Amino acid sequence: MKLNDELEQLLKNLHLNRILDIYGEQLSAAEKEDVPYSEFLTRLLRAQWHHRQETALAWRIKRASLPENW
């Protein structure tokens, strides 16, 4: 399912890019599994949080400028 324009713009403005990327597939999965809305929202937010953690870790490693063979 496609995001409506307002929701898409809000996700962009709030920098919730991972949710923007996975919304459709997660919505389809939630409908198939008949999960409650709270679980659907939890899945989206969990994915966004994990994405931010991974991005932050990658940035810190890059910024640390560790030698390749340390």
Q: Which residues, other chains included, contact 17 with Cβ-Cβ below 8 Å and sequence gap of 6+?
A: 11, 51
Pull the structure tokens for residue 10: 């809000």
Q: How far apart are the first and last CA of the chain?
A: 47
CA distance 6 to 8: 5
pLDDT 10s digits, 1-58: 667 999 999 999 999 999 999 999 999 999 999 999 999 999 999 999 999 999 999 9
pLDDT score for 67: 84
The pTM score is: 0.82
Question: What's the Cα-to-Cα distance from 69 to each of 9, 59, 63, 65, 66, rounded to whole Å?
Answer: 44, 19, 16, 12, 8
